[in-house]
Amino acid sequence: MAEDTPVELASMNQRFGALLIDWLLCMLIVAPFSQAGWMGAWALVALVVEYTFFAGLFGQTPGMRVLHIACALVPDGGPIGVPRAFLRGLLLAVVIPAVIMDDYGRGLHDRWVGSIMIKA
């Protein structure tokens, strides 16, 4: 993604909607295997695993795909790779880095791994 290449940034509504879809999917996956009181914790682990796999290899989680957005590497626009996606997922799970944003809608979790959310 060169600096002269125009890209349309994903809206906050799209980003939140994708996260909500992914969270609900993770809750559905872990529900049959979780004891009472632990479902949220296991869903958080599942969310980090989901982000690591899907965003790392394909640039989109299932929620992002439904809402036509992608997580792209800033220099070239490709997938961010598994290690960066893992770190991004962990930081997203902490929440605080996600709410501290710059003018491009990039939270600390995006800036630290070199990613940006764009319309796909």
Task: Assess if residue 7 is contained within a domain.
Answer: no
Mean pLDDT across 107-115: 89
* pLDDT on residue 3: 53
Task: Assess if residue 1 is contained within a domain.
Answer: no
33: which DSSP letter?
A: G
Query: Band of the pLDDT at 66, cuts 50, 70, 90?
Result: very high
Task: Assess if residue 4 is contained within a domain.
Answer: no
Task: Assess if residue 49 is contained within a domain.
Answer: yes
Rounded to whole angstroms, the Cα distance separating 50 from 14 reads 18
Domain hosting residue 95, numbered range: 12-119
Contact 98, 109 (CB under 8 A): yes
Task: Assess if residue 40 is contained within a domain.
Answer: yes
What is the domain count for the chain?
1
Mean pLDDT across 87-93: 90
SS3 38: coil
Query: Band of the pLDDT at 96, cuts 50, 70, 90?
Result: confident
Rounded to whole angstroms, the Cα distance separating 101 from 120 reads 21
Contact 89, 55 (CB under 8 A): yes
Task: Assess if residue 109 is contained within a domain.
Answer: yes
Task: Assess if residue 89 is contained within a domain.
Answer: yes
Task: Assess if residue 5 is contained within a domain.
Answer: no
